[in-house]
Structure 1
């Protein structure tokens, strides 16, 4: 088999979603039963490799995790199985070989302009998800102090004005309710009409429901709609969630979530352009 090459390509100023390349011929050697006919690299994502692959007209997601997280991958696959069994629209892992994983490709597309029905569907999904994950033992923490400390160190040395804004994050404590997704931005959701699907659970871990909700509301532009989206979300979420959330708590967590992800973006992209999207 040909040696796969590491890449660091750039597309329109953003890192490609492919770090390790694979050819269609190599892919079919790894997974001969599928008969793949098309291989399309993605153009988003900065950590792991992601392709969209097709066998005739049927699509799949092909991933290679560019981190040493084998135990976490196994937990992720198990979590997806549990959520799927509970009726949630998430992608199952179908196969794996030589570090490559094939997932279901959910039907639909990422939302662009957020509407009320997006917020309602998101709230109902998260309430049901939290109800299910509250039954599962939680053993991994998402917000590792080391990650925040290292990111703050980089920003302090290179973007001191932003460091003063982010400095309060070092004192944040992240309690545990259950397993949360922790990264439900628009590009991790798929809408087929008004039906929502959620993808990319690989970094899910222990956390609070309020923080998970806060991240999703930041990711779905709730701050730009004053309190309308927050009120609408909580009205739908609190009807079915294992724990009711107050508006005051969610807004407090939204401030943390926006700054935490902005800090990560400065650290990962080595500039402040993407961070400013979250800090406006």
Structure 2
């Protein structure tokens, strides 16, 4: 999230006149797509403008969110569109800071239900993600060679496609209202394995701080509800790949080696 395209409260009310917005707050994290928090007197919304030419992915994202919402998953459905602006339901709660056991259990239940729903449909390929890895490695090799040596093994990055996965469940893509979890930002979801999706989420929730306990707790909860069980050895392998993948992404997209080091520790 973040803001690239500026919009005023007056302009917003002209775009969506039936709502009567009284407050508009720009978000501060993220640099790809423009995201605001918009409020009426009694409700909150998310206002979004995609700063990329991805109309097919936006349409698929809206359909996916509707489908997941209908199964009881707490995700932000799209309420309206006008031109380049999209208005989403705002989930109640806050991003988790200090991760507790109940966060891990809620995360595991959410992913298990998501994967169970996703497994009902086929998924074509993850070629887009693999191409992103190739481009990022080429850039890093020419500009951050010492980091490239850490990421070089990712040139073989590929995996069997279980189904469509979120692939980016870090803490700032989750909202907790008490012990209830909501997950946002499905726009870059792609085909992949459930084990990789789990690996990303565990890295994103800093489980390495309490490594064995959180992983064991996650797997115990996840395997009770998931379409297929995962073992710790597989998850640990995927966590290493996920950490390196997102460290590479931070070096390539954001030129941020400090945040890359956070993931490589």
Q: Same fold (TM over 0.5)?
A: yes
Q: What's 1:69 paired with? A: 54
Answer whether contact 1:143 1:174 (CA < 8 A) is retained. no
- Aligned to 2:94, what secondary structure does the other structure show? coil
Counterpart of 2:74 in structure 1 is 89
**Which of the numbers 129, 151, 172 marks the counterpart of 1:144?**
129
Q: TM-score, normalised by structure 1?
A: 0.92
CA contact (8 A) 2:165 2:190 kept: yes
Once the two structures are superposed, what CA deviation does each residue of 1:170-215 show, in whole Å capped at 9, x if it has no partner? 0121220011000000000000000101011111121100000000
For the aligned residues, what is the CA RMSD? 1.2
Question: Cα deviation per residue 1:82-137 (whole Å; 9 max; x = unaligned)?
Answer: 11111111111000111110000000000000000000010011101110111123
What's the TM-score, normalizing by structure 2? Answer: 0.97
Residue of structure 1 in register with 2:91 after alignment:
106
Show CA shifts across 1:210-244 (max 9, x none): 00000000001112212111100000000010010
SS in 2 for 1:89: coil
State how 1:42-61 maps to structure 2 within 5 Å.
42-61=27-46
> Matched residues in 2 for 1:136 and 1:25: separation?
43
1:18-63: CA deviations, max 9, x gaps? 0111111111111111111111000011211100001113110001
Structure 1 residue 266, shift from structure 2 partner: 0.6
What does residue 11 of structure 2 align with? 26
| Local SS of the residue matching 1:101 | strand
Are positions 1:36 and 2:26 aligned together? Answer: no
Aligned to 2:112: 127
Structure 2 unaligned spans of 5+: none
Q: Distance in 2 between matches of 1:200 and 1:140?
A: 20
Alignment of 1:261-276 (within 5 A): 261-276=246-261
Label 1:140 to 1:78 Cα distance change in 2 as closer, same or farther (>3 A).
farther
Structure 1 residue runs without a partner (length 5+): 1-15
Q: How far is the alpha carbon of 1:153 from its aligned partner?
A: 1.6
Q: Which position in structure 2 is the counterpart of 1:186?
A: 171
Change beyond 3 A, Cα 1:140–1:29:
farther
Partners of 2:130 and 2:158 within 8 A in 1: no
Distance in 1 between residues matched to 2:134 and 2:48, nearest whole Å: 29
Quote how far apart the aligned CAs of 1:142 are. Answer: 6.5
Aligned to 1:78: 63
Greater fraction of residues in helix: 2
Instruction: Provide the residue aligned with 2:203 in structure 1.
Output: 218
Match of 2:156 in 1: 171
Q: Secondary structure at the residue paired with 2:224?
A: coil
- Does 2:201 match 1:201? no
Classify the secondary structure of the residue corresponding to 2:76.
Answer: coil
